[in-house]
Amino acid sequence: MISTFLTAYATSRHKLHMLILLMAGLTGTTVQAASASVTDLAGRTIALPVKNERILLGEARLIPALAVLERTHLGHRIVGMPRDFEQLDPRGFAQYAQRFPELRSVAHTGRTTAESFSVEMAISLKPDIAIFGLEGHGPTPENKEVIAQLVKAGITVVFVDFRKEPLLNTAHSMEVLGQVLQREKEAQAFSSEYTRQLALVTQRLATLKTPGPSVFLENRVGLSDECCATMSNGLMGILLKAAGGRNIASEMVPGEFGTLSLEYLLSHPPDVYIGTAIGAPETVAQMPMRIVLGAGVDEKTAADSLKRALQRKGIATLPAVRQGEAHAIWHHFYASPFNVVAVQVFAKWLHPQLFADLDPKHTLSMFYQRFQPVPLEGEYWTSLATTPRQNVTR
């Protein structure tokens, strides 16, 4: 279902090159056959780099994906990155920075937009590889001039994707990175587990004979007093659809995200309410209606923040809220290599009988234990639900 799309070949020149390197006493982690190539997620065929020690990130939120492959080697390999991880998920970033203090001193190449990315700074850092996303807060394939300058400077630019088509491209992206960084074994282990965990949902949903429940997916709850920001045909909306949910915004809001009016929401009440939480502010008083989830957030704080957010005008009167069909999930799953966990969480909320034996908490814990150099700390979803839904039909 998820193809590797990878092409590699060996020639006599390749064998000679490797023999020379071996005789010189060089290790396999810093060299790569000059003749081998890989196709990245932008469809670009690139030669695998001879050196891959110095890594530039187009988004700092790629750190967890890189950590899947690098584990304890993560800290000293990153030479440049924007400030998006630190600014958008400060507690999440702090967890990695505690394990790898070097991350605090990595040069910043931008903030949270592609426009803020400094190509001059990036080149001055002399990276061997630049890892960018198809979409997001850093350079994308649309930034052709930036890419051209980096390539001209001898930097191998590789595109991955955990955001545009996450369920199709996450495993593929890890395999591409595995090739580029010579971490094929680690990449394949992750890819196989990811594919297996996704199949636990998709294969079982194929047995359903009726449409799933309707859902209002509220975006970044509490960052604004206005209602009702949502995600429709992208971001978390993709994960919701994969879990068998009917997003009420999908036909009303074009693109990835937008806003539904409160009047529309009240006149078309969903069966289920789900809000996304981007993390904790310095104090609850700063954003009293903000849902908080993620690293460093305990179970009570998460649950209390959801209850407060559900007291807002209009939201409090939704039948889904009154009936206990209200939930919240960590917003950054949409850009995480562990996005399949959100699919499992959604599936369990929307089809509790069908997925009674599914344990997303165990899945997330397993991913951290097997593929991350930091422990799993914090709550990543919470629920107001009191009575399981009884509407599943096979």
Q: Are 218 and 321 in contact (CB under 8 A)?
A: no
CA-angle at 89, arms to 330 and 222, nearest 5°: 60
If one looks up domain 208-383 in CATH, what number appears? 3.40.50.1980
The closest alpha carbon to 373, from 4, 77, 54, 2, belongs to 77
For residue 218, what pLDDT is reported?
A: 97
Fold observed for domain 12-182: Rossmann fold (3.40.50)
Helix (H) or strand (E) holding 147: helix 144-152
pLDDT tens figures, 62-96: 999 999 999 988 988 999 999 999 998 999 999 99
Q: Is residue 38 within a helix (H) or strand (E), and if so which, with residue range?
A: strand 37-39
Concatenating the DSSP letter of every residue in 259-271 gives: E--HHHHHHS--S
Domains 12-182 and 208-383 share a fold: yes
Query: What CA–CA distance (Å, rounded) separates 52 from 49?
Result: 6
Structure tokens at 388: 């399981």
270 φ, ψ (degrees, to nearest 5): -80, 160
The predicted model scores a pTM of 0.88
Give me the helices (H) in the chain, please.
12-23, 63-70, 74-77, 84-88, 90-99, 119-124, 144-152, 166-180, 184-205, 236-242, 262-267, 299-309, 319-322, 339-350, 360-371
The structural domains of the chain, with segments of one domain joined by +, span 12-182, 208-383
Rounded to whole angstroms, the Cα distance separating 271 from 212 reads 10
Whether 82 contacts 117, CB under 8 Å: yes
> What are the mean pLDDT values of the chain's consecutive 10-residue runs (394 residues total)?
35 37 39 70 96 96 97 91 93 95 95 90 98 94 96 98 97 98 98 98 94 96 87 96 97 93 95 89 63 94 94 94 97 97 98 97 98 96 72 42
